[in-house]
A and B are shown apart, each in its own frame.
Chain A
Amino acid sequence: DTGVSQDPRHKITKRGQNVTFRCDPISEHNRLYWYRQTLGQGPEFLTYFQNEAQLEKSRLLSDRFSAERPKGSFSTLEIQRTEQGDSAMYLCASSPLRSDMSYSPLHFGNGTRLTVT
């Protein structure tokens, strides 16, 4: 399977703990995105990378959240001091960067479901 891979699929943690999620994009895709989806809502943009550079962060990404893509391949999203409000599905997506800058469809992973108790 050469799609976007996310690990773990599910994570249950206690309030105050730190968690880290991993995303492996499609190998030739330069761009990588993180979205968050809460129950009954559409996904909300968190941040995106072009290669290893983090180019944009949403105001939703508080200082407890940090994302990295150190070698321009896989990415990690860490949440420190988790709160119950962090419970959500965290989605990763990737897309290629086209030379003409035209739109490239995003390919989504199956997500990591976080439950904070």
Chain B
Amino acid sequence: AQSVTQLDSHVSVSEGTPVLLRCNYSSSYSPSLFWYVQHPNKGLQLLLKYTSAATLVKGINGFEAEFKKSETSFHLTKPSAHMSDAAEYFCVVTGTGTASKLTFGTGTRLQVTL
């Protein structure tokens, strides 16, 4: 079985400061990991994905994440937060087989203040 743990339910940063959203994973095999973002009243949007290629993955809107097998982590970062980044972020791992079934973490709500 596989799972992800998002270590913070809520993160608040000031606009222009770095963002760090933490995620640890558990998997009995080499996982594929993702970050999705959910803005209020909007559908989930894929930010970035790791599928056993480069360990540093760049996504949309300036976000990136680094896969660290030794730490079983896949933290999401951004150098400088924008007000528009305020949303719910989900760390996600794939299920078994090729069904692309996703297992979501409980989410981290990012608040960006002036």
Do B99 and A55 have beta carbons less than 8 Å apart? yes
> In the complex where A40-B106, A41-B107 touch, is A56 in contact with B44 (Cβ < 8 A)?
no
Assess whether B49 is interfacial by the CB under 8 Å rule: yes
Do A105 and B46 have beta carbons less than 8 Å apart? yes
Interface size bucket, A side?
20 to 34
Q: Mark B19-62, 1 if CB is under 8 A from A, else 0.
A: 00000000000001010000001111110010100000000000
Do B100 and A45 have beta carbons less than 8 Å apart? no
Q: Mark B88-101, 1 if CB is under 8 A from A, else 0.
A: 00101011001111
Report the bound CA distance from A102 to B104 in whole Å. 20
Assess whether A42 is interfacial by the CB under 8 Å rule: yes
Report the bound CA distance from A70 to B91 in whole Å. 33
Instruction: Identify A56's interface contact among B41, B92, B101, CB under 8 A.
Output: B101
Which A residues fall within an 8 A CB radius of B?
3-4, 31, 33, 35, 40-45, 48, 55-56, 91, 93, 95, 101-111
